[in-house]
Structure 1
Amino acid sequence: MAIPIRNTVFDKIKESGSLTDVELNKSLAKDGYVLADDRFNKILLDLEILGLIKVSWITKDERRIEVFVVEEEIDEIEQQNKEAMERDYEASFPGLEK
């Protein structure tokens, strides 16, 4: 079964972390994936809609493509509650000591 080109494009972006659309297109062409501009733009748009990448314009003709990283905010109170529940659970087994 063939891997969809969208996955290949995403893997290329993920490997480099951040690159321009020109660099990405050259890298794909080097690996044997020659894409028309409209197909290339459609793939980038799909990946951006899915929330996997972020595309921003650098110059009039060049775009920066980056992997979208979601920073997970840690709630301190939630973390403390979780730790307390774990301690209580471990303390509920009498006779077992670390």
Structure 2
Amino acid sequence: MTIPLRNQIFEKIKESNSLTDVELYKSLTKDGLNLPEDKFNKLLLDLEILGLIKVAWFTKDERRIEVAMIEKEEDPIEKQNKEVMEKDYEASFPGVDK
């Protein structure tokens, strides 16, 4: 079973955390993946749409590619439940005052 190209490209980007499209293309070619430029750009676009990477123009002919940091929003109800559970746990020890 082969690994999809999208996953292979994402793994390369994760390894270096940030690189240019030229560096990525050379690295993929070095590993034996000869992709046409349009296919390479399509895969980068797919990864960007999925929210896994960010692509920005670095110079006129180069793009900077980096892993997108996914920020997890904390649910206010979960936060409140966690605080209540911590208070209940602390209150479960009789005779211990703060």
Q: Shorter-normalised TM-score: what interval?
A: 0.7 to 0.9
Matches within 5 A, 1:2-81: 2-72=2-72, 79=79, 81=81
- In the TM superposition, residue 80 of structure 1 has moved relative to its aligned partner by 5.9
SS at 2:29 equivalent: helix
Q: TM (normalized to structure 2)?
A: 0.81
RMSD of the TM alignment (CA)?
2.6
SS at 2:19 equivalent: strand
Distance across 1 between alignment mates of 2:83 and 2:42:
46
Structure 2, unpaired ranges of 5+: none
Q: TM (normalized to structure 1)?
A: 0.81
Bigger Cα displacement from structure 2, 8-17 vs 64-73: 64-73
- In the TM superposition, residue 49 of structure 1 has moved relative to its aligned partner by 0.2
Bigger Cα displacement from structure 2, 77-86 vs 10-19: 77-86
> What is the number of equivalent residue pairs in this alignment?
94
Identity of aligned residues (%): 73
- In the TM superposition, residue 78 of structure 1 has moved relative to its aligned partner by 5.9
Bigger Cα displacement from structure 2, 80-89 vs 65-74: 80-89
- In the TM superposition, residue 82 of structure 1 has moved relative to its aligned partner by 1.2
Distance across 2 between alignment mates of 1:49 and 1:75:
25
Structure 1, unpaired ranges of 5+: none
- In the TM superposition, residue 85 of structure 1 has moved relative to its aligned partner by 1.8
Bigger Cα displacement from structure 2, 15-24 vs 70-79: 70-79
- In the TM superposition, residue 73 of structure 1 has moved relative to its aligned partner by 5.0
- In the TM superposition, residue 88 of structure 1 has moved relative to its aligned partner by 1.3
